[in-house]
């Protein structure tokens, strides 16, 4: 009886560890389609986030760091693009899918609902309003 309980507990721990490793496969740096931005995906608690950690052209025409100039909140327009959190609050749903998060587009200052799907070294980002049918997708590549 004790032997069976230990075996069941061991299998549960192995299953939990394998699921956590699968969920964490998204961690790391990803390049947007044009390769001019890299987004670092990291984990806080049980949720996943992403911040802009490399920009090919980080400075404006005057040589100053680019800022979040299109943010709808005037108080946030002076914050630098580098380090800007673009992905927030994603939860791993299994089958390499991350849901319930948002993606911020600094080009227009808007935040969208978002779903991410991991496929090897590619990450499909689907930003949308309302339902996923009305949105736009991008494929990001893992930075090696």
* Separation between Cα atoms, residue 62 and residue 69, nearest integer Å: 15
Sign of CA dihedral 32, 85, 87, 94: positive
What span, in angstroms and rounded, lies between the C-alpha atoms of 42 and 63?
Answer: 30
Q: State the DSSP string of 97-135.
A: EEEEEEEEETTTTEEEEEEEEEETTEEEEEEESSSTTSE
The pLDDT tens digits for 112-137 are 999 999 999 999 999 999 888 889 99
Q: Which pLDDT band holds residue 144 (cuts at 50, 70, 90)?
A: confident
Please enumerate, as own/partner, the contacts of 125-128 that have beta carbons within 8 Å and a separation of 24 or more: 127/103
Per-residue pLDDT at 21: 61
- pLDDT band for position 11 (50/70/90)? very low
Q: What's the maximum distance between 2 C-alpha atoms anywhere in the chain? A: 74
Instruction: Classify 11 in phi/psi space as left (phi over 0), alpha (psi -120 to 50) or beta.
Output: alpha
Segment 21-38 shows an average pLDDT of 94
What is the predicted pLDDT for the residue at 133? 83
Contact 20, 55 (CB under 8 A): no
Specify the pLDDT at position 100: 96
pLDDT of residue 8 exceeding 50: no
Q: What is the pLDDT of residues 36-87, one digit of tens each?
A: 999 999 999 999 999 999 999 999 999 999 999 999 999 999 999 999 999 9
Can you name the CATH fold of 2-142? Lipocalin (2.40.128)
Which own/partner pairs from 104-107 qualify as long-range (CB within 8 Å, at least 24 positions apart)? Answer: 106/52, 106/68, 106/70, 106/71, 106/81, 107/70
Domain spans of the chain? 2-142
CA 59 to CA 106: how far, in whole Å? 15
Q: What is the model's pLDDT at position 13?
A: 38
């Amino acid at each position: 009886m004790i032997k069976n309980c230990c075996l069941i507990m061991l299998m549960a721990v192995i299953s939990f560890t394998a699921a956590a490793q699968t969920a964490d496969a998204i961690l790391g740096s990803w390049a947007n389609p044009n390769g001019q931005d890299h987004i670092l995906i990291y984990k806080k608690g049980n949720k996943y986030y992403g911040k802009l950690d490399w920009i090919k052209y980080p400075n404006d025409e005057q040589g100053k760091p680019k800022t979040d100039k299109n943010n709808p909140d005037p108080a946030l327009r002076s914050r630098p693009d580098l380090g800007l959190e673009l992905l927030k609050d994603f939860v791993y749903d299994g089958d390499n899918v991350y849901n319930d998060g948002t993606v911020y587009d600094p080009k227009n200052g808007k935040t969208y609902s978002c779903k991410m799907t991991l496929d090897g070294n590619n990450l499909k980002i689907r930003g949308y309003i309302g339902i996923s049918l009305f949105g736009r997708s991008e494929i990001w590549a893992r930075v090696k």
